[in-house]
Protein backbone atom coordinates (compact mmCIF):
# COMPACT_ATOMS: atom_id res chain seq x y z
CA UNK A 1 0.00 0.00 0.00
CA UNK A 2 2.82 2.37 0.87
CA UNK A 3 4.26 1.92 -2.58
CA UNK A 4 0.95 2.65 -4.23
CA UNK A 5 0.57 5.92 -2.36
CA UNK A 6 4.09 6.91 -3.22
CA UNK A 7 3.50 6.19 -6.84
CA UNK A 8 0.27 8.17 -6.97
CA UNK A 9 1.98 11.12 -5.33
CA UNK A 10 4.78 10.96 -7.84
CA UNK A 11 2.36 11.00 -10.74
CA UNK A 12 0.64 14.07 -9.31
CA UNK A 13 3.99 15.78 -8.91
CA UNK A 14 4.98 14.79 -12.45
CA UNK A 15 1.77 16.22 -13.85
CA UNK A 16 2.34 19.46 -11.97
CA UNK A 17 5.92 19.85 -13.09
CA UNK A 18 5.39 18.97 -16.71
CA UNK A 19 2.63 21.54 -17.04
CA UNK A 20 5.18 24.32 -16.49
CA UNK A 21 6.56 25.54 -19.80
CA UNK A 22 10.34 25.53 -20.00
CA UNK A 23 10.86 23.65 -16.75
CA UNK A 24 13.88 21.33 -16.78
CA UNK A 25 13.51 17.69 -17.73
CA UNK A 26 13.06 15.25 -14.90
CA UNK A 27 15.88 12.76 -14.66
CA UNK A 28 13.56 9.96 -15.65
CA UNK A 29 11.89 11.60 -18.59
CA UNK A 30 12.63 11.57 -22.30
CA UNK A 31 12.48 14.26 -24.90
CA UNK A 32 12.18 14.50 -28.64
CA UNK A 33 13.30 17.36 -30.85
CA UNK A 34 11.93 17.87 -34.34
CA UNK A 35 14.53 18.30 -37.07
CA UNK A 36 12.61 18.34 -40.40
CA UNK A 37 10.22 16.13 -42.37
CA UNK A 38 10.65 12.79 -40.53
CA UNK A 39 13.93 13.74 -38.87
CA UNK A 40 13.86 13.50 -35.07
CA UNK A 41 16.21 13.45 -32.12
CA UNK A 42 15.05 11.30 -29.18
CA UNK A 43 16.85 11.23 -25.85
CA UNK A 44 16.45 9.67 -22.43
CA UNK A 45 19.14 10.02 -19.77
CA UNK A 46 22.49 9.68 -21.54
CA UNK A 47 21.01 7.76 -24.46
CA UNK A 48 20.38 9.62 -27.70
CA UNK A 49 19.22 8.51 -31.12
CA UNK A 50 18.16 10.21 -34.33
CA UNK A 51 15.75 9.06 -37.04
CA UNK A 52 15.87 9.98 -40.76
CA UNK A 53 18.18 12.95 -40.14
CA UNK A 54 19.84 13.41 -43.54
CA UNK A 55 18.07 13.92 -46.85
CA UNK A 56 18.34 16.40 -49.70
CA UNK A 57 15.04 16.30 -51.53
CA UNK A 58 12.01 18.27 -50.37
CA UNK A 59 9.88 17.37 -53.43
CA UNK A 60 8.63 20.93 -53.24
CA UNK A 61 6.50 20.23 -50.19
CA UNK A 62 8.56 19.13 -47.19
CA UNK A 63 10.97 20.89 -44.88
CA UNK A 64 14.70 20.43 -45.23
CA UNK A 65 17.06 20.43 -42.26
CA UNK A 66 17.97 23.99 -41.17
CA UNK A 67 21.67 24.57 -42.00
CA UNK A 68 22.59 25.33 -38.37
CA UNK A 69 21.07 22.04 -37.28
CA UNK A 70 22.98 20.14 -39.95
CA UNK A 71 26.24 21.79 -38.87
CA UNK A 72 25.63 20.84 -35.23
CA UNK A 73 24.74 17.27 -36.21
CA UNK A 74 27.97 16.74 -38.17
CA UNK A 75 30.06 18.45 -35.47
CA UNK A 76 28.47 16.38 -32.70
CA UNK A 77 27.47 19.57 -30.91
CA UNK A 78 24.44 20.15 -28.71
CA UNK A 79 21.74 19.08 -28.96
CA UNK A 80 23.31 16.39 -31.13
CA UNK A 81 26.27 15.65 -28.87
CA UNK A 82 26.78 12.04 -27.87
CA UNK A 83 24.38 10.43 -30.33
CA UNK A 84 24.50 6.65 -29.94
CA UNK A 85 22.61 5.51 -33.00
CA UNK A 86 20.92 6.70 -36.16
CA UNK A 87 17.96 4.99 -37.81
CA UNK A 88 16.82 5.16 -41.41
CA UNK A 89 13.24 4.28 -42.34
CA UNK A 90 13.67 3.80 -46.08
CA UNK A 91 15.66 4.82 -49.13
CA UNK A 92 13.70 7.78 -50.50
CA UNK A 93 15.21 11.18 -51.18
CA UNK A 94 13.11 12.95 -48.55
CA UNK A 95 14.38 10.57 -45.82
CA UNK A 96 17.87 9.44 -46.69
CA UNK A 97 21.01 10.51 -48.55
CA UNK A 98 23.68 7.78 -48.83
CA UNK A 99 26.63 10.14 -49.33
CA UNK A 100 25.64 12.31 -46.38
CA UNK A 101 25.16 9.30 -44.12
CA UNK A 102 28.65 8.06 -45.05
CA UNK A 103 30.04 11.48 -44.14
CA UNK A 104 28.17 11.51 -40.84
CA UNK A 105 29.57 8.10 -39.88
CA UNK A 106 33.04 9.36 -40.75
CA UNK A 107 32.51 12.51 -38.66
CA UNK A 108 31.17 10.68 -35.60
CA UNK A 109 33.37 7.65 -34.93
CA UNK A 110 31.15 6.22 -32.16
CA UNK A 111 27.91 6.38 -34.14
CA UNK A 112 26.05 3.16 -35.04
CA UNK A 113 23.68 3.06 -38.01
CA UNK A 114 20.56 0.89 -38.35
CA UNK A 115 19.00 0.88 -41.79
CA UNK A 116 17.13 -1.28 -44.27
CA UNK A 117 19.30 -3.29 -46.66
CA UNK A 118 18.22 -1.11 -49.60
CA UNK A 119 19.71 1.95 -47.93
CA UNK A 120 22.92 0.12 -47.04
CA UNK A 121 23.31 -1.08 -50.64
CA UNK A 122 22.95 2.55 -51.69
CA UNK A 123 25.74 3.52 -49.31
CA UNK A 124 28.00 0.70 -50.54
CA UNK A 125 27.71 1.97 -54.09
CA UNK A 126 28.69 5.51 -53.10
CA UNK A 127 31.38 4.80 -50.50
CA UNK A 128 34.93 5.89 -51.24
CA UNK A 129 37.86 3.60 -50.45
CA UNK A 130 38.53 5.65 -47.32
CA UNK A 131 34.93 5.15 -46.16
CA UNK A 132 34.91 1.35 -46.27
CA UNK A 133 35.75 1.12 -42.58
CA UNK A 134 32.48 2.78 -41.52
CA UNK A 135 30.55 -0.36 -42.49
CA UNK A 136 31.73 -2.02 -39.27
CA UNK A 137 29.19 0.29 -37.59
CA UNK A 138 26.40 -0.26 -40.11
CA UNK A 139 23.69 -2.73 -39.13
CA UNK A 140 21.29 -3.59 -41.89
CA UNK A 141 17.96 -5.29 -41.53
CA UNK A 142 16.64 -7.23 -44.50
CA UNK A 143 12.95 -7.87 -44.12
CA UNK A 144 10.28 -8.97 -46.54
CA UNK A 145 6.64 -8.04 -46.05
CA UNK A 146 5.21 -10.50 -43.53
CA UNK A 147 8.56 -11.45 -41.99
CA UNK A 148 8.67 -11.69 -38.20
CA UNK A 149 10.02 -8.59 -36.43
CA UNK A 150 13.73 -8.56 -35.65
CA UNK A 151 15.28 -7.50 -32.38
CA UNK A 152 18.75 -6.03 -31.83
CA UNK A 153 20.48 -4.54 -28.83
CA UNK A 154 23.33 -2.22 -28.00
CA UNK A 155 24.14 -0.53 -24.70
CA UNK A 156 21.16 1.59 -23.65
CA UNK A 157 18.99 0.48 -26.57
CA UNK A 158 16.54 -2.25 -27.44
CA UNK A 159 15.91 -2.00 -31.17
CA UNK A 160 13.02 -3.74 -32.90
CA UNK A 161 12.27 -3.57 -36.61
CA UNK A 162 9.23 -4.51 -38.65
CA UNK A 163 8.67 -4.08 -42.35
CA UNK A 164 5.44 -2.20 -42.96
CA UNK A 165 4.69 -1.32 -46.57
CA UNK A 166 5.19 2.22 -47.83
CA UNK A 167 2.02 4.23 -48.40
CA UNK A 168 0.60 3.39 -51.79
CA UNK A 169 0.25 -0.30 -50.97
CA UNK A 170 -0.91 -2.56 -52.57
CA UNK A 171 -0.43 -0.97 -56.00
CA UNK A 172 2.46 1.46 -55.53
CA UNK A 173 5.96 1.45 -54.00
CA UNK A 174 5.60 -2.14 -52.82
CA UNK A 175 9.32 -2.73 -53.48
CA UNK A 176 10.34 -0.08 -50.95
CA UNK A 177 11.77 -1.58 -47.78
CA UNK A 178 10.03 0.68 -45.23
CA UNK A 179 11.01 -0.14 -41.67
CA UNK A 180 9.06 0.75 -38.56
CA UNK A 181 11.58 1.07 -35.73
CA UNK A 182 10.37 0.49 -32.18
CA UNK A 183 13.19 1.63 -29.93
CA UNK A 184 13.41 1.48 -26.14
CA UNK A 185 15.91 3.82 -24.50
CA UNK A 186 17.44 2.90 -21.11
CA UNK A 187 14.85 0.11 -20.65
CA UNK A 188 12.47 2.98 -19.92
CA UNK A 189 11.10 5.06 -22.79
CA UNK A 190 9.75 3.38 -25.90
CA UNK A 191 9.19 5.26 -29.14
CA UNK A 192 8.20 4.14 -32.62
CA UNK A 193 9.12 5.85 -35.88
CA UNK A 194 6.83 4.67 -38.66
CA UNK A 195 8.64 6.01 -41.71
CA UNK A 196 6.17 6.22 -44.58
CA UNK A 197 4.02 3.35 -43.36
CA UNK A 198 0.73 2.54 -45.04
CA UNK A 199 -2.17 2.95 -42.58
CA UNK A 200 -3.90 -0.39 -43.12
CA UNK A 201 -4.46 -2.67 -40.15
CA UNK A 202 -3.75 -5.80 -42.19
CA UNK A 203 -0.03 -4.95 -41.89
CA UNK A 204 -0.24 -5.00 -38.11
CA UNK A 205 -2.51 -7.96 -37.41
CA UNK A 206 0.14 -10.62 -38.13
CA UNK A 207 2.32 -9.33 -35.33
CA UNK A 208 -0.48 -8.36 -32.94
CA UNK A 209 1.36 -10.02 -30.04
CA UNK A 210 4.57 -8.18 -30.82
CA UNK A 211 2.82 -4.82 -30.76
CA UNK A 212 0.79 -5.65 -27.65
CA UNK A 213 3.86 -6.75 -25.69
CA UNK A 214 5.48 -3.35 -25.50
CA UNK A 215 3.24 -0.28 -25.40
CA UNK A 216 4.72 2.78 -27.02
CA UNK A 217 5.19 5.92 -24.97
CA UNK A 218 5.35 8.12 -28.05
CA UNK A 219 4.70 7.15 -31.66
CA UNK A 220 5.75 9.20 -34.67
CA UNK A 221 3.42 8.33 -37.55
CA UNK A 222 3.32 10.11 -40.89
CA UNK A 223 0.49 12.66 -40.63
CA UNK A 224 -1.77 10.64 -42.95
CA UNK A 225 -2.38 8.15 -40.13
CA UNK A 226 -4.71 10.75 -38.61
CA UNK A 227 -6.70 11.11 -41.82
CA UNK A 228 -8.53 7.78 -41.47
CA UNK A 229 -10.28 5.99 -38.64
CA UNK A 230 -8.13 2.95 -39.33
CA UNK A 231 -4.89 4.91 -38.99
CA UNK A 232 -6.02 6.27 -35.63
CA UNK A 233 -7.10 2.82 -34.48
CA UNK A 234 -3.70 1.37 -35.37
CA UNK A 235 -2.03 3.98 -33.17
CA UNK A 236 -4.42 3.53 -30.25
CA UNK A 237 -5.25 -0.15 -30.27
CA UNK A 238 -2.54 -1.92 -32.23
CA UNK A 239 0.56 0.09 -31.34
CA UNK A 240 -0.97 1.10 -28.00
CA UNK A 241 0.69 4.48 -28.25
CA UNK A 242 0.18 6.57 -25.11
CA UNK A 243 0.80 9.64 -27.22
CA UNK A 244 1.74 10.42 -30.79
CA UNK A 245 3.11 13.31 -32.79
CA UNK A 246 2.65 13.38 -36.56
CA UNK A 247 5.62 13.85 -38.88
CA UNK A 248 6.17 14.23 -42.66
CA UNK A 249 3.83 17.22 -42.53
CA UNK A 250 3.69 19.16 -45.82
CA UNK A 251 4.64 22.84 -45.56
CA UNK A 252 1.12 23.83 -46.64
CA UNK A 253 -0.29 22.50 -43.35
CA UNK A 254 0.09 25.21 -40.68
CA UNK A 255 1.19 24.74 -37.10
CA UNK A 256 -1.98 26.44 -35.85
CA UNK A 257 -4.53 23.62 -35.47
CA UNK A 258 -7.47 25.88 -36.32
CA UNK A 259 -6.05 26.55 -39.76
CA UNK A 260 -5.47 22.90 -40.63
CA UNK A 261 -7.74 20.58 -42.59
CA UNK A 262 -10.48 19.46 -40.22
CA UNK A 263 -9.14 15.91 -39.78
CA UNK A 264 -5.83 17.30 -38.45
CA UNK A 265 -7.18 19.83 -35.94
CA UNK A 266 -7.31 17.53 -32.92
CA UNK A 267 -3.84 16.01 -33.26
CA UNK A 268 -0.29 16.97 -32.42
CA UNK A 269 2.00 17.58 -35.40
CA UNK A 270 5.62 18.60 -35.75
CA UNK A 271 5.77 21.61 -38.04
CA UNK A 272 8.63 23.80 -36.75
CA UNK A 273 12.23 22.54 -36.67
CA UNK A 274 13.60 22.75 -33.14
CA UNK A 275 10.28 22.24 -31.35
CA UNK A 276 10.30 19.59 -28.64
CA UNK A 277 7.99 17.28 -26.72
CA UNK A 278 8.49 15.58 -23.37
CA UNK A 279 8.24 11.81 -23.42
CA UNK A 280 6.61 10.59 -20.23
CA UNK A 281 6.75 6.90 -19.70
CA UNK A 282 5.24 4.31 -17.42
CA UNK A 283 7.56 2.78 -14.80
ZN1 LIG B 1 8.96 7.37 -48.97
pTM (2 decimals)?
0.90
The answer to whether residue 132 is domain-embedded is yes
Of 136, 133, 142, whose CA–CA distance to 162 is shortest? 142
The answer to whether residue 22 is domain-embedded is no
The answer to whether residue 11 is domain-embedded is no
Model pLDDT for residues 268-279, shown as the tens digit of each residue: 999 999 999 999
DSSP state, residue 234: I
Mean predicted lDDT score pLDDT of the chain: 91
Structural domain harbouring 136: 30-273
- Please tell me the distance from the alpha carbon of residue 215 to that of residue 208, in angstroms, as a whole number: 12
Q: Report CA(92)–ligand 1 centroid distance (Å).
A: 5
Total count of domains within the chain: 1
The answer to whether residue 5 is domain-embedded is no
The answer to whether residue 279 is domain-embedded is no
Q: What is the CATH number of the domain that holds 243?
A: 3.60.15.10
The answer to whether residue 257 is domain-embedded is yes
Model pLDDT for residues 45-59, shown as the tens digit of each residue: 999 999 999 999 999
Q: Report CA(90)–ligand 1 centroid distance (Å).
A: 7
The confidence score (pLDDT) of residue 173 equals 85
Of 130, 260, 277, 143, whose CA–CA distance to 218 is shortest? 277
- Is residue 19 predicted with pLDDT exceeding 80? no
Q: Report CA(12)–ligand 1 centroid distance (Å).
A: 41
The answer to whether residue 120 is domain-embedded is yes
Q: Report CA(178)–ligand 1 centroid distance (Å).
A: 8
Average pLDDT of the segment spanning 175-195: 97
Average pLDDT of the segment spanning 160-184: 94
The answer to whether residue 45 is domain-embedded is yes
Amino acid sequence: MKNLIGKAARFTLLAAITSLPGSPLLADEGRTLYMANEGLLVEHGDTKVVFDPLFRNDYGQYLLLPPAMETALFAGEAPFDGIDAVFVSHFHGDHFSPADMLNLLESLPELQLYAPMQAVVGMRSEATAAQQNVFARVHSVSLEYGDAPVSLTMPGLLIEAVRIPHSGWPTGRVDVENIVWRVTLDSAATVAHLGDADPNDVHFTNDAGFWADRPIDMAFPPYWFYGTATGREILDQRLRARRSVGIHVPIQIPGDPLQRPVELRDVDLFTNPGETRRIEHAD
